[in-house]
Amino acid sequence: MEMKKELRVIISGGGTGGHIFPAISIANAIKEARPDAQILFVGALGKMEMEKVPAAGYEIKGIPARGLKRPLYSPSNISVAIDYLRCKSIAKRIIREFKPNLVVGVGGYASAAIVGSAAKMGVPVLLQEQNSFAGLVNRKNAKDAAKICVAYDGMERFFPKERILNTGNPIRKDIDKATPEQKAQGYAYYNLSPQKKTVFVVGGSLGCRTLNECMKKAVAGGKLFGGENEYQVIWQHGKIYKGEIDTFMKGKETQGVYYSDFIQRMDLAYAVADVVVSRAGAGTISELCVAGKCTIFVPSPVVAEDHQTHNAMALVNKGAAMIVKDAAATEELLPCLEALLKDEAKIKELEKNIGTLAKKDAAATIAQECLKLAEK
C-alpha cells in the first residue's frame, strides 16, 4: 500500500470574522479528509483570530500585520509598510520551520506576507475569496496562486480565468432548508406563533445601528411587530447595543418580539423566518442561499471597496434578493418590508431564486483542491 505524503498546511488570513470562519471551516474539512494533516494558522496579532482559532482546536502564530488606511496615500501607511517588512521576515522563518507543502490564503491583511513569501520559496498557494468584489490582499496575491476558489460568477475581472474555481463559501454545517420539525422547534424555542409571518433581522455580531433604529420604529406602539400584529420578529441587535435596546424595550409589548444581542440557534431562526433583513457579508449570503430565504439586504456602507453592496447586487441582478441602501433605510425599509410580507408570490419567487445559488459543500470542495495541490 502506497504511503501518503505527509500533509502540512499553513492557513493564513483574518483581521475580521468574515475571513476567520471560512479559514476554520477549510481546516476542519482538510482534517476530515486527512486526519493526519498538520495545520498551522498565521494571523494578525491582537485580532480576533488569535482567540477564535485556538478555541477551534488549532495552533496559531501571530504576526504584526495591519491593514492599509484609506486613502492609500495616507501618511500612517508608512508605519504599516514598515510592519509589513517585519512580517515578511517572520513569515519566511515560520515557513522554514514548519515546512508546509501548501499555503492557503483567505484574504485579510494577515495573509499578504505569508502568501508572498511561500510563493518565492516554492510552496504552492491556494486562495479563497469570499466576496464578489475581491479584496486588495487576494488581488495582489493572485499572481502567486495555483488555484483561486471563489463564491461568485464574473471573478475573472480580478483573477486569471484558468485558475478560478467557483466553490461557494464555507458555511456552518447546521444550515440547510428547514424541515417541518425544525420549524416547529424554532417557533417553540423563540416563543413565536406558527400562525404569524416571521421576520428575522440580523445585524451581525457587533450589531447595526441602522437596522436597530428601523426596528425601534417597527416595535414602538406596535407599528409592525408585537401584540395583536399579524407579524412577529426575531431581532438580533448586537453586543454593543444591548444596554440601549434593553432600556428601549422596557414596558414594551414583547409578545411576538424576540430580541437578543446574539442568536445561538441560527438554524432555528432561519427555519421560522419568512423574510430575512440583513447586512450583506459574504458568509451570511452563502447561508441564506443554502437556507433558501427571501431576503432584503441593507449593505454596510463602511466596508472596504463597498464590497457588501457588490455582494448584494450579485443576487439582486439575478432576481434572488431585494436591496435597500443604508442611507435610505430609516425611510424605505419598513414600507418595503411590509409590502413584501403582504406579497406571498414575491416571497416564493425570491426563495426559489436564492436557492438556485446555494453551494452547500464548499469547504469539502476547497479541501479536495488543497489536497490535489499539496500532494503533487
180-192 per-position pLDDT tens digit: 999 999 999 999 9
Give pLDDT, residue 108. Answer: 82
Categorize the per-residue pLDDT at 305 as very low, low, confident or very high, splitting at 50, 70 and 90.
confident
The distance of Cα 208 from the centroid of its chain, to the nearest Å, equals 15
Q: Are 204 and 279 in contact (CB under 8 A)?
A: yes
Query: Residue 83: pLDDT above 80?
Result: no
Query: Residue 71: pLDDT above 80?
Result: no
Domains along the chain with CATH numbers: 8-171+360-374 (3.40.50.2000), 180-355 (3.40.50.2000)
Give pLDDT, residue 1. Answer: 42
Categorize the per-residue pLDDT at 72 as very low, low, confident or very high, splitting at 50, 70 and 90.
low
**If you count DSSP H runs as helices and E runs as strands, how many of each does the chain have, helices first?**
14, 13
Give, as one character, the DSSP assignment of residue 65: -
Query: Residue 358: pLDDT above 90?
Result: yes
Percent with pLDDT over 90 in the chain: 72
Categorize the per-residue pLDDT at 306 as very low, low, confident or very high, splitting at 50, 70 and 90.
confident
Q: Are 9 and 38 in contact (CB under 8 A)?
A: yes
Tally Cβ neighbours within 10 Å of residue 310.
18
Tally Cβ neighbours within 10 Å of residue 314.
21
Categorize the per-residue pLDDT at 168 as very low, low, confident or very high, splitting at 50, 70 and 90.
very high
C-alpha cell of residue 370: 488543497
Q: Are 200 and 287 in contact (CB under 8 A)?
A: no
Please give the average per-residue pLDDT across 345-360, as a whole number. Answer: 96
Instruction: Provide the whole-model pTM.
Output: 0.86
Q: Which of 146-155, 185-194, 203-212, 309-318 has the lowest mean pLDDT?
A: 203-212
Please give the average per-residue pLDDT across 27-43, as a whole number. Answer: 96
Strands (E), 65-217: 102-105, 125-128, 147-150, 164-166, 197-202
Tally Cβ neighbours within 10 Å of residue 22.
29
Q: Which of 83-87, 168-172, 266-270 has the lowest mean pLDDT?
A: 83-87
How does pLDDT run across 232-272, given as a tens digit for each residue? 999 999 989 999 999 999 988 788 999 999 898 999 999 99
Give the C-alpha separation, 236 to 104, whole Å: 33
Query: Residue 141: pLDDT above 60?
Result: yes
Q: Which of 58-67, 68-77, 79-88, 202-211 has the lowest mean pLDDT?
A: 68-77
Give the C-alpha separation, 248 to 251, whole Å: 8
- What value does the mean pLDDT of the chain take? 91
Categorize the per-residue pLDDT at 80 as very low, low, confident or very high, splitting at 50, 70 and 90.
low
Query: Residue 210: pLDDT above 80?
Result: yes
CA neighbours within 13 Å on the CB side: how many for 356? 10
Please give the average per-residue pLDDT across 43-50, as a whole number. Answer: 84
Tally Cβ neighbours within 10 Å of residue 317.
9
Cis? peptide before 100, omega within 30° of 0: no
Query: Residue 38: pLDDT above 50?
Result: yes
Percent with pLDDT over 70 in the chain: 93
Please give the average per-residue pLDDT across 8-37, as a whole number. Answer: 90
Amino acid in position 17: G
Give pLDDT, residue 84. Answer: 65
Q: Are 261 and 212 in contact (CB under 8 A)?
A: no
- Residue 185: enclosing H or E segment and its boundaries? helix 180-189
Rama region for 99: left / alpha / beta (φ>0; ψ in -120 to 50; rest): left
